[in-house]
Amino acid sequence: MEISKVDFSSLLGELTDVGIALSAQKDHSRLLEMILLKAKELTNADGGTLYTRTDDQRLKFEIMLTESLGFRKGGSSGEAIEFDPIPLYDSDGQPNNHMVATWAALSGETVNIEDAYTNKQFDFSGTRDFDKTTGYRSKSFLTVPLTNHESEIIGVLQLLNAQDPDSGEVVPFSKLDQQVVESLASQAAVTITNRSLIDAQKKLFDAMIQLIANAIDEKSPYTAGHCRRVPELTNMIAEAACNIKTGPLKDFDLSDKEKYALDVAGWLHDCGKITTPEYVVDKATKLETIFDRIDIIEARFEVLKRDRAMQALQRKLAENGIEFELDDDDIYQSEIQQLQDYWEFIRSSNIGGEFMGDENKERVKQIASYRWQASDGEMRGLLTENEVQNLIIGKGTLTLRERKIINNHISVTINMLESLPYPKDLANVPEYAGAHHEKMDGTGYPRALVREQMSVPARIMGIADIFEALTAGDRPYKKAMPLSQALKILGNMKLSNHIDPDLFDIFIHEKIYMKYAEKFLDADQVDEFEISDIPGYEPAE
Sketch the domain layout of the chain as residue ranges.
5-198, 220-276+401-533, 294-397
Which pLDDT does position 478 carry in this prediction?
A: 59
Q: Under a CB-based contact definition with an 8 Å cutoff, are residues 24 and 143 in contact?
A: no
Which pLDDT does position 326 carry in this prediction?
A: 59
Q: Tens of pLDDT along 434-457?
A: 999 999 999 998 899 999 999 999
Which pLDDT does position 487 carry in this prediction?
A: 96
Which pLDDT does position 475 carry in this prediction?
A: 57
CA distance 157 to 146: 7
Which pLDDT does position 6 carry in this prediction?
A: 39
Which pLDDT does position 315 carry in this prediction?
A: 72
CA distance 213 to 388: 36
Which pLDDT does position 260 carry in this prediction?
A: 93
List Cβ neighbours of 440 (8 Å cut-off, separation of 6 or more).
450, 451, 459, 497, 498, 499, 500, 501
Q: Under a CB-based contact definition with an 8 Å cutoff, are residues 134 and 69 in contact?
A: yes
CA distance 535 to 236: 22
Tell me the CATH number of domain 220-276+401-533, given options 3.40.109.10, 1.10.3210.10, 3.30.420.40, 3.55.50.30. Answer: 1.10.3210.10
Is 5-198's fold the same as 220-276+401-533's? Answer: no
Level-2 CATH architecture, domain 5-198: 2-Layer Sandwich (3.30)
CA distance 308 to 336: 7
In the chain, which stretches have pLDDT less than 70?
A: 1-28, 220-224, 276-293, 295, 314, 316-328, 354, 375-376, 405-407, 474-478, 541
| φ/ψ of residue 396, rounded to 5 | 75, -150
pTM for the structure as a whole? 0.62
